A = this chain, B = another copy of it.
Amino acid sequence: MANSEQMANAIRALAMDAVQQANSGHPGAPMGMADMAVALWGRHLRHNPQDPHWADRDRFVLSNGHGSMLLYALLHLTGYDLPIQELKNFRQLHSKTAGHPEVGVTPGVETTTGPLGQGLTNAVGMALAEKLLAAEFNQAGHTVVDHHTYVMLGDGCLMEGISHEAVALAGAWRLSKLVALYDDNGISIDGQVAPWFIDNTPKRFEACGWNVIGPVDGHDADAVDKAIAKARAQSAKPTLIVCKTHIGKGSPNRANTSKAHGEPLGAEEIALTRAALNWPYAPFEVPAEVYADWNAKEAGAQAQAEWNQRFAAYRAAFPELAAEFERRMAGDLPKHFAQTAVDAVVEAHTKGDTVASRKASQIALEAFTAKLPELLGGSADLTGSNLTNTKSTPALRMDAKGAVAKTEDGQIGRHINYGVREFGMAAVMNGIALHGGFIPYGGTFLTFSDYSRNAIRMAALMKQRVIHVFTHDSIGLGEDGPTHQSIEHAASLRLIPNLDVWRPADTAETTVAWSVALSNRDKPTALLLSRQNLQHLSALAPKRNLGDISRGAYVLSEPADVGLKKKAKAVIIATGSEVQLALKAQRLLAAKKIPVRVVSMPSTTAFDREDVKYKKAVLPTGVPRIAVEMGVTSGWWKYGCAAVIGIDTYGESAPAPVLFKHFGFTEENVAATVLAALKRK
């Protein structure tokens, strides 16, 4: 019989020792949540330390990521490839034990947490992915997708607004296999939370369709165990288990204080804590019997072996489904993808539709969603504006019993009405991508990328394939005015490391942008799309090389294309809706015998990855460059521009054509700016 108390104390000791050794970190949360961890990890979590990628494992998220030592201790103790030496290297360069848990760095870490509230929201995405995959792949007598998502969280996560979005969505989606354990210790960094946190949390969760259990004594592993069992026994709602705990539990002088939160206990207090806990072992020493109690290797291997057997039977009965499931979970695109993409681009080019690029995106999506069942779309209550839905993506709905509703022909929903919850949508998409089985994409207006910005950053940091459809990308949206007109957003998204940003100019470029986004396995993509119609570039630049679009920038039109047999004396660089303007200015200048090259640069981020040779071929040295984009000018100077036509103030409320003139986005102004640059040279 396992000794729960000593199991918990092992976590406490490892946490305080590692934080002390690093002289940095948060001991209070791991010490407070240790008994909850015994109940969850010791008695319920279905996982295999030897295969952290087993498809049907339970997912665990530590939403209060500053308590990372809890997770590292658990991974170490249960048998993951995280030796004690890594715990001794807590928070050191290139260790597997970073300050906050980082997915991809540490085996068994499911998501990167730290920015509060997002872990919970990722967990909602994971639980949704499980529910959808189960509905899609499980067959009568063959259950191959059947796991829980557990999340631990603290007061901080619950204060963050995103927690409301997550809680509301989990309730609406009836995610009954989502279990959240709330570390209710009444302390945040500023102290006892009473003056600034009066929420009745159980009532709040009930108001959003959750099942609430407790408060239970969070230091009574048996009580927490029973609560988890109760949560697992129902299939109606997501569950919140309120666990009353003491932060820094075990420390005689720091427990129940905010001092336990974010600093080492110090040698003296650690000694006192060891004595109080009856834990006489040296730092980083864990007795063999406690290791044995924690060891989950055998149970995990057995659980996975059973599942393997089930999956083998499934494969025998449904070979195609089994292969598809494996492909989807591996994140591989279908074999036909390259051809599908080429066909879609050629069709867009051939048809030459003059449409808004948001419509071009929907046209591309029609092609891709028809062939890629893993595409899981959505919008933050702007479906008809973002145009994220297609004929292949019925709206996701739950039936009266809370199960995933199916269409008449047996399809599950593949387009999510996220409601007006941009940040929640983005963090849910991160959770879906992390779970595997889907490529999530979701839409809102570009200006509201501000709301979801940190979740976009987290996708980039976590190298997740999440696609953001940001429409209404400039003053071109017109009358809605400055609150809705993106001025700094394109430039500002381009600053996020490992985020691909595309602002395509017509249907062909938009289709290429989608195909690159889908191929970007290790990064998220933001597609910035116009509200207004954009003339198809083939009309103005019939000879362009479609094959180079994916490189992010390419020579769209040379002087010869407008009847001048001279080398270009200037290069106009433009993106998105401004490319047509550049081409028209090129013609104006051609009429004055001034030869100009037009470069379309739908993706600065993709272009920046190209080699120097290609870059020089597109942007030759010694020829002045003039950039044109309806947004702040700041980012363009790195391309050595002589002039940038942009907007460094806020927009205005007026019809788009009026605004274009007001802000100088006319072919005449572009041509005049080129002339002025040539004169200065």
Please list the residues of chain A having a beta carbon within 8 angstroms of any beta carbon in chain B.
22, 24-25, 65, 91-95, 98-100, 102, 112-117, 155-157, 159-165, 168-169, 171-172, 188-191, 193, 195-201, 203-204, 206-209, 379, 381-385, 395, 397-398, 417-424, 447-448, 450-451, 453-454, 457-458, 461, 478-484, 487-488, 491-492, 494-498, 632-635, 637-638, 640, 648-650, 652-655, 658-659, 662
Residue from the list B156, B648, B650, B652 in contact with A381, Cβ < 8 A? B156
Instruction: Judge whether B193 and A419 touch: CB under 8 Å.
Output: yes
**CB contact under 8 A between A484 and B100, given known A91-B479, A420-B116:** yes
- Assuming A195-B398, A453-B453, is B99 touching A481 (CB within 8 A)? yes
Q: Give the contacting residue for A196; candidates B169, B193, B454; CB below 8 A.
A: B169
Q: Could you write out 22 A-B pairs with CB less than 8 Å apart?
A: A24-B478, A91-B479, A92-B655, A93-B654, A94-B652, A99-B483, A102-B481, A102-B482, A115-B448, A159-B168, A161-B163, A161-B164, A161-B421, A161-B423, A168-B198, A188-B420, A190-B379, A190-B383, A200-B206, A451-B454, A497-B650, A498-B649
Smallest CB gap from A659: residue in B? B93
In the bound complex, do residue B196 and residue A203 qualify as a contact, i.e. CB atoms below 8 Å apart? Answer: no
**Interface residue from B65, B161, B193, B484 paired with A160 (Cβ < 8 Å):** B161
Which residues of chain B come closer than 8 Å to A451, judged between CB atoms?
A: 115, 160, 453-454
Interface pair B484/A488, CB less than 8 Å apart: no
* Chain B residue at smallest Cβ distance from A189: B381
Q: Given B495, B634, B648, B653, which contacts A99 in the complex, CB threshold below 8 Å?
A: B653
**Known: A24-B479, A479-B91. Is A159-B419 also a contact (CB below 8 A)?**
yes
Q: Are B650 and A461 in contact (CB under 8 A)?
A: yes
A648 to B: closest C-beta gap in Å: 6
B168 and A199 contacting across the interface, CB-CB below 8 Å:
yes
In the complex, what distance in Å separates the CA atom of A458 from the CA atom of B25?
A: 35
Given the known inter-chain contacts A65-B483, A189-B384, A483-B65, please indicate yes or no for A171 contacting B155, CB distance below 8 A. no
Q: How far is the CB of A540 from chain B (nearest CB, A)?
A: 28
Which residue of B195, B421, B491 contacts A417 across the interface (Cβ within 8 Å)?
Answer: B195
Give A91 to B94 CA distance when docked, in angstroms: 55
Taking a contact as CB atoms under 8 Å apart, the answer to whether B25 and A479 are in contact is yes
| 9 additional contacts (CB under 8 A) given A168-B199, A196-B419 | A24-B655, A25-B479, A91-B655, A114-B481, A115-B451, A156-B420, A161-B423, A203-B204, A495-B632
Is there an interface contact between B92 and A654, defined as CB atoms closer than 8 Å?
Answer: yes
Distance in angstroms from A626 CB to nearest chain B CB is: 15
Complex CA gap A209/B198 in Å reads: 7
Residue of B nearest to A154 (CB): B420
Task: Give CA–CA (A655, B92) in the complex, Å.
Answer: 7
Partner of A648, one of B199, B447, B497: B497
CB of A473 to closest CB in B, whole Å: 15
- From B161, B397, B457, A161 is in contact (CB under 8 Å) with B161
Known contacts being A168-B197, A498-B650, is A420 close to B159, with CB within 8 Å?
yes
With A481-B100, A482-B461 given, is the CB distance from A155 to B648 under 8 Å? Answer: no
